[in-house]
Amino acid sequence: MPTPTYLHLPLALDDEGEKLSKRHLRYALPADPARALYGALIFLGQAPPPELQNAPPAELLAWAVGNFAVAAIPRENRRALEDTDD
């Protein structure tokens, strides 16, 4: 059997630099799944086209499958992106 390939994903941090978790309940995901997915792609260093910001989740996923760049994933933990439109 081939050895699996592993990679590090950055932790999402709050304003104090603490990792986000369900336990802290500091941030809620956007109610719109497409906005949550678009934000997750941005957080992971991907560059979805701005015109896909309001696209249906299936269209965003199709873009991500075809364009996801592992090399673009940030190596450091990062402050979570806040949803400021609500």
CA distances from 83 to 6, 28, 50 (A): 30, 9, 16
Q: Report helix, strand or coil for 71.
A: helix
Q: Where are the beta strands (DSSP E) in 14-81?
A: 78-79
Domain ranges (residues) in the chain: 17-79
CA distances from 6 to 12, 27, 41 (A): 19, 28, 19
Q: How far apart are the first and last CA of the chain?
A: 48
Q: What does the pLDDT read at residue 70? A: 94
Which band of pLDDT confidence, cut at 50, 70 and 90, is reported for residue 71? very high
Q: What does the pLDDT read at residue 84? A: 43
Per-residue pLDDT tens over the stretch 42-61? 999 999 999 999 999 999 99
